[in-house]
Amino acid sequence: MNELVDTLQPLRWDEPKSAYDVVIVGGGGHGLATAYYLAANHGIRNVAVIEKGYVGSGNVGRNTTIVRSNYMIGGNTAFFEFSLQLWEGLSHALNCNVMLSQRGQFVFAHGPSQLDAVARRGNIMRLNGIDAELLDRGDLMKLVPYLDYSTEARFPIYGALLQRRAGTARHGAVAWGYARAADSYGVDIIENCEVTGFVMEGGRVGGVETTRGRILAGRTGIAVAGHSSHVAAMASLRLPVESHVLQAFVSEPIKPLVDHVLSFGAELFYISQSDKGGLVFGGDIDGYNSYAQRGSLPAVEDVCESGMALMPMLGRLRLLRGWGGLMDMSMDGSPIIDRTAVGGLYLNCGWCYGGFKATPASGWCFAHLIARDEPYPVAAELRLDRTVTGALIDERGAGAQPNLH
């Protein structure tokens, strides 16, 4: 983040006041974005963001920085495209360079039926006004010549879907940019302040109890990702969410090689190259409930094997570091932005391992919900009660099994 430090102004660190119009629990990307849009879009500036650690200490600072909008199912498609459109204007809106790099993302197809499937995905995207191009093997050999096109390839490359507007953003700058922009509107950002309970007034949430005292709030929003279940449990809510660990990795830095974001089609594996030269990559969640922010070795092996199958040259590189983050895996693999059964309490969770790309739209829509008490149109289907009504948004068709989404 050194290249950014000169452009960043210091943030004002606040002592909590006794009461606010809105308190947001969680000072990650989504919570900070929500506070910013409450102030910028709705004129609600008497807002506090309460963070138990420090700003950006959670998933916004530990993801693989990919932004894209290649979703197929109603409820997701328009929402994630709205998010990508917000990304495209974000550096100007926040007056902070979030280093959005629309380098394009490939999703590879490794057989004829998978090529049909990605073509279908591309058609759905284009019918929704989202850019998508179907490329054949010959196109790919020119654009990404370093993949395994040999006859020995375990998963031969038939083609790919390319979203040119997809890419990466600088995650630390996103957290800082939203924090500073919210701060400039007068939002209080309170670090090292853990919520220990909710203030209940006649069946309504009227604020939060914290390690730094009671803070009253007209409305309270929860945006705490992997910790959603136990924060919600303080208001006697049980959520359709499990917390799982997802690992990510960075190689030693090398000269420019991977110009795009690549997504393997045979297994879950995605890779891009950071501005510092490291190859940033990840795969599937480890697959069991975890709050440990670290994973186990079989998942590391799976990720590296997938990478080697796509790009055999990866085997020549050393792994520089790896880390884990907590994913709020929902029961259908899609997020929740909704009111709760408890008055005054609003919920933003269930981002699975796709929360970073959603940061702007999540904040925009959650702020709208809290300010107006009605959903923003593109987030109207991200309801908490969809497990009751049956209006699930199950992109992968895996059913109520969070570790399979």
Q: Which positions lie near other proteins, rule CB under 8 A?
A: 227, 229-230, 233, 238-243, 287-292, 296, 298, 301, 331, 387-388, 400-403
| Nearer Cβ to other proteins (196/401) | 401
| Nearer Cβ to other proteins (229/263) | 229
Take residue 299 and report the two structure tokens written for it: 């998942």
| Min separation Cβ 218 and other proteins, Å | 28
Question: Which residue shows structure tokens 């629309």?
Answer: 102
| Min separation Cβ 22 and other proteins, Å | 26
Take residue 358 and report the two structure tokens written for it: 């959603």
Contacts of 131 (CB under 8 A, 6+ apart): 125, 163, 164, 165
Take residue 395 and report the two structure tokens written for it: 């992109």
Contacts of 116 (CB under 8 A, 6+ apart): none
| Nearer Cβ to other proteins (104/335) | 335
| Nearer Cβ to other proteins (130/241) | 241
Question: Which residue shows structure tokens 């929360």?
Answer: 355
| Nearer Cβ to other proteins (91/334) | 334
| Min separation Cβ 114 and other proteins, Å | 24
Query: Can you tell me whether residue 308 is helix, strand or coil?
Result: helix
CB 248 within 8 A of CB 281: yes
DSSP state of 240: S
| Min separation Cβ 303 and other proteins, Å | 13
| Min separation Cβ 115 and other proteins, Å | 30
Question: What whole-number distance in Å separates Cα of residue 124 and Cα of residue 349?
Answer: 26
| Min separation Cβ 298 and other proteins, Å | 4
Take residue 19 and report the two structure tokens written for it: 């009461």
CB 160 within 8 A of CB 174: no
Question: What whole-number distance in Å separates Cα of residue 287 and Cα of residue 358?
Answer: 22
| Nearer Cβ to other proteins (65/228) | 228
| Nearer Cβ to other proteins (300/317) | 300
CB 182 within 8 A of CB 35: yes
| Min separation Cβ 386 and other proteins, Å | 10
Question: What whole-number distance in Å separates Cα of residue 160 and Cα of residue 176?
Answer: 35
